[in-house]
Structure 1
Amino acid sequence: MSLPSEPLDEAHATEPVRWNLRILAGHLLRSAASVVLLTALYYLAPLDGGFGVLAVVLLVLGLLLFGGLVAWQTAAITRAEYPRLRALEALATAVPLFLVMFSASYFLLSKELPESFAERLSRTDALYFTVTVFATVGFGDIAPTTQAARALVTGQMALDLIVVGVIAKVLFGAVRIGMRRRGGRSPIPEDDS
C-alpha cells in the first residue's frame, strides 16, 4: 500500500492525511490496548500463593517469554509496512509485561514476608515500586529491607539496564532494517532533529 504523493484534485487533497491518521490511530490504539490489557491481567491474576520456588520459577519463565516476545517483535518490525509504528507497539507490549512480572513478584514477596519492604505492598504499591526502580528515580516511601528483597530488586535493576539499552537498540536496529526494506516511507512526518 503506497500513499499517493499528490492528490488528484481538491476533493481528494486530504485523503493521504486521513490515511496517515487512520494508520497512526490504529497503532496507537493497539499500543494502548496492550498496556490496559496487561495491567488488567496483573490486577485480576490470582496471586494467592506466597513467594517461593514456584514464584521464582514463574518469574524466570516469564523473563524467557519476554525475551521470546522481543525476538518475535524484532522480526515483525523488520517486515512491517510501518516499522516505527510497529516498534511502538512492541515497546507497549514488552515493557508493561516486564514491569508486571516484577510487580507480581514484589507483591508475592511482600505477602509472604511483610518485612521485605518498608511497608506491606498492595498490588498498586508493588507496581509503583517496580516503575520507580525501572525509572531509576530512587527509593522514597517504599524500599527493600531484607536480603531477598534487595537481591530481587538488584536483579530487576540489572535487567532494566538490559531492557533500556540492549532491547531498545535491537528494536531500533530492526526499524532501520525495516525502513531500508521499505525504501524509507513513513506514515508520519519525519523529525529532522
Structure 2
Amino acid sequence: MSTMFGSGWRPVWSGVGLLVAYYAFPVGWGDSPTTGALLSLALTAAGLGLLGYTMVKELDHLRHGEEIRSTRALSILLVMLVMSFSFAFFFLDLVEPDQIANLSTRTDALYFTVSTMATVGYGDIHAEGQLARGLVAGLIVFNLVVVASLVRARRIGGHSSL
C-alpha cells in the first residue's frame, strides 16, 4: 500500500513542485524589464535544449534495444517540457507582446501550451508573429515526433504501466 509520499506518488509531487516553481520563477532581473525577460528567455531556451536532448537520447536508447527510463521519469520529463514551453511563450510575450495574441499571464501561457500539445487549439490565444509561430511549430513537431515515439515504444516494449 502506497502512502501519499511513497514512490508511486513521485510523478504527482514532481508535477506539483514544477508547477509551484513555474509560478514562483522570477520574471524581472536587473533594472530593465526587457533585459530580465531576455535573460529568462535565454535560460528557458537552454532548458528546452537540455530537455529535448534528454528525450532524444531516450529514443536513441530505444532504437538500440537498450533499457529506458521508467514511465514515471518520462512523465516528469513531459511535465518539464510543458513548463519549459510555457515559460518560453510567457517570456516571448514579455519581450515581444505582439507575437502571441491574448497571452498576458503565466496561466495563459500554460493553457496555450497544453491546448497546442493536445492539438485542440481553441483560437482564443494564438501565435501571430513569425517567432511565435516558429516556436509553436517546434512544439508541435517535438510533440509528434519525440513524445509520440516514446509512448509508442513504451507500449511496444510492454512497459505501459505507471
Alignment TM class, shorter chain as reference = 0.7 to 0.9
User: Residue deviations 1:71-129, cap 9 Å, x none?
Assistant: 47x79x9488xxxxx31x12331111001111001101111111112224200100000
Aligned to 2:47: 62
Larger Rg: 1
1:115–1:68 distance in 2 versus 1, CA, 3 Å: closer
Partner Cα separation in structure 2 for residue 170 and residue 79 of structure 1: 10
Displacement of 1:155 in angstroms is 1.1
Corresponding residue of 1:148? 131
Contact 1:51 1:105 in 2 (8 A): no
Could you say which residue in structure 1 is the equivalent of 2:22? 42
Take 1:144 and 1:28, find their aligned partners in 2: how far apart are those partners?
38
Task: Please state how far the C-alpha of 1:65 moved relative to its aligned partner.
Answer: 2.4
Letter in 1 for 2:2: R
Tell me by how many angstroms 1:41 deviates: 1.0
Structure with greater contact order relative to length (CA < 8 Å, sep ≥ 6): 1
In the TM superposition, what is the alpha-carbon distance from 1:27 to its structure 2 partner? 3.8
* Mapped partners of 1:168, 1:107: distance in 2: 28
- C-alpha displacement of 1:162: 2.0
1:32–1:92 CA contact under 8 A, matched in 2: no
CA distance in 2, matches of 1:103, 1:45: 12
Aligned CA distance change for structure 1 residues 67 and 91 (closer, same or farther; 3 Å)? same
**2:117 aligned to 99, 116, 134, which one?**
134
- Say how many residue pairs are matched: 149
Among all aligned residue pairs of Structure 1 and Structure 2, give the percentage whose two residues are the same amino acid: 32
Deviations 1:45-83 (CA, angstroms, capped at 9, x unpaired): 11332247x725641x323422454447x79x9488xxx
Letter of the 2:141 counterpart: A
Any stretches of 5+ residues in structure 2 without a counterpart? 29-35
TM score, norm. by length of structure 2 = 0.74
Q: Is the 8 A contact 2:2 2:8 kept in 1?
A: no
Q: Which amino acid aligns with 1:50?
A: A
Question: 1:124 and 2:104 equivalent?
Answer: no
CA RMSD in angstroms, aligned pairs only: 3.3
Write out per-residue CA displacement over residues 131-178 of structure 1, whole angstroms, 9 at most, x where no aligned residue.
0101000232101111111111111111111233222234445x54x7
**Structure 1 residues 56 and 79, CA, compared in 2 at 3 Å: closer, same or farther?**
closer
Is 1:33 the counterpart of 2:18 in the alignment? no
* SS of equivalent to 2:125: coil
TM-score, with normalisation over the residues of structure 1?
0.63
CA distance in 2, matches of 1:24, 1:33: 9
CA distance in structure 1 between the aligned counterparts of 2:150 and 2:114, rounded to whole angstroms: 17
